Amino acid sequence: MKTTIMFKHTKPCMRLKGILLLFALLLLPFLSQSQDIEMVAIEGGTFTMGATSEQGDEADDDEYPVHQVTLDSYYIGKYEVTQLQWKQVMGNNPSYFKDDRLPVENVNWDDIQEFIAKLNAITGKKYRLPTEAEWEYAARGGNKGRGYQYSGSYMIEHIAWYDDNSGKKPNPVGTKGPNELGIYDMTGNVWELCHDWYGAYDKEPQTNPTGASTGEYRVLRGGSWYTAPRGCRVSIRLRCAPFSLNTLSGFRLAL
């Protein structure tokens, strides 16, 4: 005997809401995974931060004094945050050079903080920007570092998109070689915003430093597609206003 399920006493709009709710619950794990960020585990340790000897005579004054920094273990993004990842979270793409595979650019401090807050709400994680010290330790290869001038090599063309090879534009993330930890594009492609306020270094040893307590500028690291090799070294520092928008800078995440 055939059984018939009747919806005689259920309003059509209520049935539709129920179907949509079920669909959303089924889709939620997929959405969370699609907006997750591939991270690399960085084992904590002590390193020398600033213009160490391999940086040569090209270092700027703000790369001194060289000082010892000790960091706890953390995670950092394997790649710069892409335009696709930004669109999945924010529903828009502010970048000038548009391509899902490219790093997102033309975003400022407040934009990035809004992205992080929404991403954390979706994934249940605690993503953030890396501190300047975390960024440099990862760029140097962490405890696997070999003392390169750039992130992963002395030969910048092997690991970076910079002014001589970029075609005057950013390029898809992860298309040059990685550094010692398997992280891509920490030299070139786009400057990367860090957590810290820009400030002078302290010569004293530090543990898990977070930079100046206040300031006028934020810190950018790593160089860009428009930057000469000198400006792509692992110790180079650049300052920018928090509200600044440009096509040269983006970011990667830490955890």
The burial class, CB within 10 Å (0-12 / 13-18 / 19+), for 12 is exposed
Residues 235 and 52: beta-carbon distance below 8 Å: yes
Dihedral angle sign, alpha carbons of residues 36, 42, 47, 48: negative
Q: What is the percentage of the chain residues whose pLDDT exceeds 70?
A: 86
Domain boundaries, the chain: 35-250
pLDDT in tens, 147-186: 999 999 999 999 999 999 999 999 999 999 999 999 999 9
Q: Given a cut of 90, is residue 117 above it in pLDDT?
A: yes
- Per-residue confidence band for 26, with pLDDT thresholds at 50, 70 and 90: very low
E strands, 110-253, in order: 191-197, 206-207, 218-221, 238-240, 249-250
Angle made by CA atoms 169, 75, 101, in degrees to the nearest 5: 25
What does the pLDDT average to over 34-43?
86
Q: Would you state the CATH architecture of domain 35-250?
A: Alpha-Beta Complex (3.90)
pLDDT per position as a tens digit, 217-241: 999 999 999 999 999 999 999 999 9
Question: Can you tell me the distance from the alpha carbon of 47 to that of 69, in angstroms, rounded to the nearest whole number?
Answer: 6
Label residue 35 by pLDDT band (50, 70, 90): low
Is residue 8 scored above 80 in pLDDT? no
Tokens of 133: 């010290």
pTM over 0.85: yes
Tokens 């440099």: give the residue.
Answer: 136
Burial 148-187 (b: 16+ CB within 10 A, else e): bbbbbbeebeebbbbbeebeeebbbbbebebbbbebbbbb
More confident residue, 14 or 179: 179
Residue 13: pLDDT band (50, 70, 90) is very low
pLDDT at 22 over 70: no
The average confidence (pLDDT) of the chain is: 90
The predicted structure's pLDDT at residue 74? 99
d(CA 120, CA 126): 6
pLDDT digits (tens, 9 = 90+) for 67-87: 999 999 999 999 999 999 999
Contact, 160 vs 176, CB < 8 A? yes
Q: Who has greater pLDDT, 13 or 251?
A: 251
